[in-house]
Amino acid sequence: MRLFCIQNGLRDRHSHYLQESEGIAEACRASGVALRLYAHRRVQPALAAATGAVPAFHHAPSTVLETDPVIGILSDYITLAAAFAADCAALAADGVGAGDIVLLPYAEAWAVHGLAQFLATLPGGCWPARPAGRCRCRCATLRPPS
């Protein structure tokens, strides 16, 4: 089994993304699970080399592109989801498929939608595994004050 971990906010050593990635890597080593780590495209080269992270993703969690209060949320959702789906090509290049697990620790709605768009491009029967049993997910949506 392989774990494909998407840390699209990982760029440098000064973030919680790094500490979390190190913890995930340690847990994978202890469990005999192969880890493939994906980071922001602008990840520092030395950090990518030290962690084995693949620079792949254009946008970090909490990215805001459009500041218009009327259309900004929808526009960003569509734009960021499409970019995320395209960036997931790095997973396909590494052969993600049946039996693998894809972990998206910072699952913004647009990232989840982009991941779903990417998965829809994979042939049937080649989708990564869904963990058996009950899965719990906590989602939070932040809205600007009205």
Tens-digit pLDDT profile for residues 31-57: 999 999 999 999 999 999 999 999 999
Among 79-88, 95-104, 121-130, top mean pLDDT goes to: 79-88
Give the pLDDT band of residue 131 (cuts 50, 70, 90). Answer: low
User: Residue 95 is encoded by which pair of tokens?
Assistant: 């052969």
pTM of the model: 0.85
The DSSP bridge partners found for residue 101 are: 3
Residue carrying structure tokens 């990417």 = 118
Residue 121 neighbours by CB under 8 Å, 6+ apart:
85, 92
Name the residue with higher pLDDT: 139 or 126.
126
Q: Which helix (H) or strand (E) holds 100?
A: none
Give the pLDDT band of residue 99 (cuts 50, 70, 90). Answer: confident
